């Protein structure tokens, strides 16, 4: 049985791999999950933003979660948590996704705020949405705050804390991809929260900064490329080796910036370039990233962080 909230550590928001006809490439997924498991991640986020959740059918979502759970078991990583992205425009569909995620083997649900009608999504509406989902979900949920994919909707710290207090053991954490470290610090240290609650930094770019602020670890796209580097940074911070952690954070931040510029398909193309599986293909309308995208300075920056990864 999974802990009440996700354990502290590094979580990789697993990318979705596709064949040329845009069908799921489950074999590439299996290779990828096995590498992440061996890399020491605390868990996986399936169908996050980098997992192209909006492009997948409900049945495909379950297929990916089930495959990931099977590979973790094969790798002797029954301890690794699976957090499934379950956001949808309606409360009803979000609850359905939570039910299906549980059936497929997920331990927690990661839920975006609804955003199709952003002007109607004030903080009271958002609070009711998360409360209704949490009460109906068979697995605990984490609030996913990512204004970049929710029409600019930004859930404030008061709303997050009030939801955590009102739904103990049901709303058990948050992922803050908004990059607001003040918000992260406030939530992580709010004395009104008396039950386990995991506040996660949402990008490699501010991993170390988040740890200083009280983050429970990180859920970071770049962990798909270099999971061991992320685990090592956490170890350095915990050991009080701040200068070494800062140096590693610098390399991570530079690599993360390159990957942001390449987009979701570019992250997969990087995995293919440096680890020879997957390919840089997303479902349309997202594009295909060619090998030429890695020429020059981009290749230097990414190869440096991959070399560090391979030496660990």
- Decide: helix, strand or coil at residue 4: coil
Q: Which residues pair with 83 in a beta bridge?
A: 45, 108
User: How does pLDDT run across 143-163, given as a tens digit for each residue?
Assistant: 999 999 999 999 999 999 999
285: preceding bond cis by omega (within 30 degrees): yes
User: How does pLDDT run across 190-229, given as a tens digit for each residue?
Assistant: 999 999 999 999 999 999 999 999 999 999 999 999 999 9
Please report which helix (H) or strand (E) contains residue 28, including its range.
helix 26-38
Q: What is the pLDDT of residue 217?
A: 98
Q: What is the pLDDT of residue 3?
A: 84
User: How does pLDDT run across 109-121, given as a tens digit for each residue?
Assistant: 999 999 999 999 9
Alpha-carbon span 236 to 211, nearest angstrom: 11
Mean pLDDT of the chain, nearest integer: 96
DSSP state of 208: H
Per-residue pLDDT at 292 exceeds 90: no
- Which pair of tokens denotes residue 189? 């240290």
Crossing angle of helices 123-136 and 157-166, in 10° steps, is 30
CA 127 and chain centroid, separation: 22
Please report which helix (H) or strand (E) contains residue 183, including its range.
helix 181-188
Letter string b/e over residues 215-235, b meaning 16 or more CB atoms within 10 A of that residue's CB: bbbbbbbbbbbbbbbbbbbbe
Residues annotated catalytic, as ranges: 175
Note whether 257 and 205 are within 8 A (CB): yes
- Least Cα distance to 184 among 156, 162, 219 occurs for 156
Per-residue pLDDT at 98 exceeds 80: yes
Q: What is the pLDDT of residue 287?
A: 84
Check residues 292 and 275 and name the one with the higher pLDDT. Answer: 275
- Which pair of tokens denotes residue 30? 């299996």
Query: Measured in Å, how far apart are the chain's first and last C-alpha atoms?
Result: 31
How are the residues of the chain apportioned to helix, strand and coil, as percentages rounded to the nearest 5? 55, 15, 35
Q: What percent of the chain has pLDDT over 70?
A: 100
Mean pLDDT throughout 230-257?
A: 98
User: How does pLDDT run across 252-265, given as a tens digit for each residue?
Assistant: 999 999 999 999 99
Write down the number of H helices and E strands in the chain. 10, 8
Q: What is the pLDDT of residue 13?
A: 98
Q: Residue 132's pLDDT band (boundaries 50, 70, 90)?
A: very high
Q: What is the pLDDT of residue 1?
A: 73
Mean pLDDT throughout 31-38?
A: 98
Mean pLDDT throughout 52-62?
A: 96
CA 34 and chain centroid, separation: 17
Q: Residue 2's pLDDT band (boundaries 50, 70, 90)?
A: confident
Per-residue pLDDT at 291 exceeds 80: no
Per-residue pLDDT at 300 exceeds 80: yes
- Which pair of tokens denotes residue 198? 């995991």
- Which pair of tokens denotes residue 252? 């991570």
Mean pLDDT throughout 168-184?
A: 97
Torsion of CA 300, 301, 305, 307, to 10 degrees: 0
């Amino acid at each position: 049985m999974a802990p009440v909230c996700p354990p502290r550590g590094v979580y990789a928001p697993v990318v979705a791999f596709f064949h040329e006809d845009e069908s799921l490439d489950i074999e590439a997924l299996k290779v990828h999950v096995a590498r992440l498991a061996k890399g020491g991640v605390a868990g996986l986020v399936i169908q996050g933003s980098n997992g192209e959740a909006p492009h997948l059918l409900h049945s495909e979502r379950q297929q990916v979660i089930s495959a990931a759970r099977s590979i973790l078991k094969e790798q002797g990583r029954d301890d690794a948590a699976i957090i499934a992205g379950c956001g949808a425009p309606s409360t009803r569909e979000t609850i359905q996704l939570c039910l299906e995620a549980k059936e497929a083997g997920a331990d927690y649900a990661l839920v975006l705020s609804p955003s199709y009608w952003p002007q109607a999504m004030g903080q009271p509406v958002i609070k009711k949405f998360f409360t209704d989902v949490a009460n109906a979900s068979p697995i605990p949920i984490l609030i996913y705050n990512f204004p970049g994919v929710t029409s600019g909707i930004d859930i404030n710290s008061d709303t997050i804390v009030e939801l955590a207090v009102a739904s103990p053991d049901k709303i058990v954490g948050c992922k803050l991809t908004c990059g607001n470290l003040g918000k992260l610090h406030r939530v992580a240290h709010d004395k009104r929260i008396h039950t386990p609650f995991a506040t996660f930094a949402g990008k490699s770019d501010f991993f170390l900064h988040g740890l200083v602020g009280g983050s429970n670890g990180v859920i970071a796209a770049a962990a798909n490329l270099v999971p061991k580097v992320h685990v090592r940074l956490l170890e350095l911070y915990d050991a009080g080796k701040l200068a070494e952690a800062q140096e590693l954070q610098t390399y991570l931040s530079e690599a993360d910036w390159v990957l942001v510029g390449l987009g979701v398909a570019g992250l997969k193309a990087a995995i293919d370039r440096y680890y020879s599986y997957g390919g840089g293909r997303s479902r349309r309308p997202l594009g295909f990233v060619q090998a030429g995208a890695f020429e020059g300075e981009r290749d230097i920056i990414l190869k440096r962080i991959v070399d560090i990864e391979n030496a660990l």
